[in-house]
Amino acid sequence: MFKQVLSSIAAFALVFSIGSAFAAVDVNTANSDALRGIKGIGPAKAKAILDERQAHGPFKDANDLGTRVKGMGGKTVQRLEAEGLTIGAAPKTAAVAPGNAAPPGAANSAVATPVSASASAKPVVVKK
């Protein structure tokens, strides 16, 4: 009997530790479902976070998150961090020479590249 109780407690502790190990959710990369998996974030708050991130880019730190998302003060952000919300570093982007940047959303579209500076030269279209 004692072994069964001890075994049950050990199994519960193992399941709890595994569950909490996977609870971290980065606010800069998470989708709505992942954000709603954090206790204290419902559908409306997840939408507000995603809308703000889409409009103004990734969050720099907890203070930035609390300032930019309505209804998320410092204490709320601290509580959400205790529940597993993390604010990772903003994703790094590759440096692009001025004038060579593709328009937003053109990652998989055709890009025109001039062959020479002469007026008769036609652009070459390269598809990725």
| 52-98 tens-digit pLDDT | 999 999 999 999 999 999 988 889 999 999 999 999 854 444 444 44
DSSP state for residue 94 in the 8-state scheme: -
**Rounded Cα distance, 124 and 127, in Å:** 10
Q: What is the pLDDT of residues 8-48, one digit of tens each?
A: 554 444 444 444 445 699 999 999 999 999 999 999 999 99
Strand 124-126 to strand 111-113: parallel, antiparallel, or no bridges (unpaired)?
antiparallel
Residue 71 in tokens: 């209804």
Q: From CA 62, how far away is CA 28, in angstroms rounded?
A: 11
User: Where do the domains of the chain lie, and which CATH numbers do they carry?
Assistant: 9-86 (1.10.150.280)
Nearest to 46 by CA among 37, 36, 60, 56: 36
Q: What are the structure tokens assigned to 46, written together?
A: 């997840």
Taking only the tens place, the pLDDT of each residue in 83-94 is 999 998 544 444
* Whole-number Å distance between alpha carbons of 74 and 27: 15
Q: Name residue 125's beta-bridge partners.
A: 112
pTM of the model: 0.54
Distance of CA 21 to the CA centre of its chain: 18
Residue 6 pLDDT exceeds 90: no
User: How far apart are alpha carbons 71 and 63 in whole angstroms?
Assistant: 13
